[in-house]
Amino acid sequence: MKVDLHTHTSASDGELSAASLIQRAEAAGIEMLAITDHDTVAAYSDNGKLMLKTGRLITGIEFSSQWKKTGVHIVGLNISLESDSIKEGVLHQSQARRDRAMRIAEKLEKLGIENVWKNVEAIAGDSVIGRPHFARFLVESGVCNSIRQAFSSYLGAGKTGDVKQFWAPYEKIITWVREAGGVAVLAHPEKYKLTRTKLSLLLDDFQDAGGEAMEVVSGKQSKDITEKLSRLCCQKNLLASVGSDFHQPGQSWSELGQTSALPGECKTVWGRWS
C-alpha cells in the first residue's frame, strides 16, 4: 500500500492548499495520506469536504518541541480534531510560534537585515509563520541566493535563526496527542544528526513519555539509513511510519508517493487503522 503520513499545506509552510495536495496525492496513487501541518490543523477546517478518492485521509499534526538541546518534531496521527487537548496544543504552539518568529526577526535585524518582521508576515499571510517564510524573505530580499543558503547561513541548527526555547515540552505534546486518541510519532529522526547512542536515548525518553512510533522512512533516503532506522525501530518495539515531508512540488527528495520502501520486518503504524 502506498502511504504518506507526513505532508504540509499552505496552512503552515507548504505551498499547496489542502485540496491541491490531495489531488497531487491521488495522482501519485497514494492510498493513505495524512496532512501534518506545523502546530495547526487549519487544513482540516473543511474536513467534511476533504476526501482522498484513492484511499483514506488520516488526521494529523506536527508539533515542534525540544529534547535536551536538540529541536525535535512529533507527529500526531489519527487525532480527534475536536478534542480539548488538540485545541490546547494548537493555541499554545500558535502563540509560541509567533513569539519565536518575532525573536528570529529581532536577531536577523541585529545583523543589519532590514524590515524582517513586516516582510515575513506579508509572505506568510494567513499561514502559521515558520522558518521557510524567513528563508523566502532572505532570498527575495537578495540576502541569500537560495533557500538552501538561507538555512545553512541563517536559519539552520546553531545559526542565528535557530530559536527553540518557546516550544511545549515533548512530554506535554505526547500527552496532547494521546488524549486526542492519536499516536505520537517521532518525525524524521535522521535529521537531528544525533549519534546512535543519543538517538537511542531520545527514543527511550520518547517511549517513556508515551510515544509509540517513529518515522523509519522520511522522503527519499539511502538504503543504509533505512536499514539502520528499521533495526532501531524493531529493537525498541516501536511502530514504523513513512512520510515524504512534502512541502512543495519540485523537491524530488520529498515528493508525494516517492518515499523509499519500508523494510518488511517493521510493524506499521497504519496497521492500527487498516
Question: Rounded to whole angstroms, how far apart are CA atoms 187 and 46?
Answer: 26
Among residues 193, 161, 151, 178, the alpha carbon closest in space to that of 67 is found at: 193
In a domain, 113, yes or no: yes
∠20-21-24 over CA atoms, to 5°?
85
In a domain, 173, yes or no: yes
Q: What is the pLDDT of residue 166?
A: 78
> Both 139 and 195 in a single domain?
no
> Both 192 and 113 in a single domain?
no
Domain region containing 113: 91-155
Contact 76, 182 (CB under 8 A): yes
> Both 106 and 64 in a single domain?
no
Question: Rounded to whole angstroms, how far apart are CA atoms 3 and 95?
Answer: 32
What CATH number is attached to the domain comprising 126? 1.10.150.650
Length of the chain as a residue count: 274
> Both 181 and 78 in a single domain?
yes
In a domain, 164, yes or no: no
> Both 47 and 179 in a single domain?
yes
Among residues 145, 131, 66, 147, the alpha carbon closest in space to that of 97 is found at: 131
In a domain, 196, yes or no: yes
> Both 132 and 201 in a single domain?
no
Give me the tens of pLDDT residue by residue for the chain, a chain 274 residues long.
899 999 999 998 899 999 999 999 999 999 999 999 999 999 998 655 788 999 999 999 999 999 998 989 999 999 999 999 999 999 999 888 889 899 999 999 999 999 999 999 999 888 878 888 999 999 999 999 999 999 999 998 889 998 877 789 999 999 999 999 999 999 999 999 999 999 999 999 999 999 999 999 999 999 999 999 999 999 999 999 999 999 999 888 999 999 999 998 999 999 998 7
In a domain, 162, yes or no: no
Residue 230: all three cell numbers together: 528499521
CA distances from 123 to 12, 110, 120, 163 (A): 12, 21, 5, 20
> Both 125 and 259 in a single domain?
no
Give the number of domains in the chain: 2
Question: Rounded to whole angstroms, how far apart are CA atoms 28 and 160?
Answer: 38
pLDDT tens by residue, 85-117: 999 999 999 888 889 899 999 999 999 999 999
pLDDT tens by residue, 37-49: 999 999 998 655 7
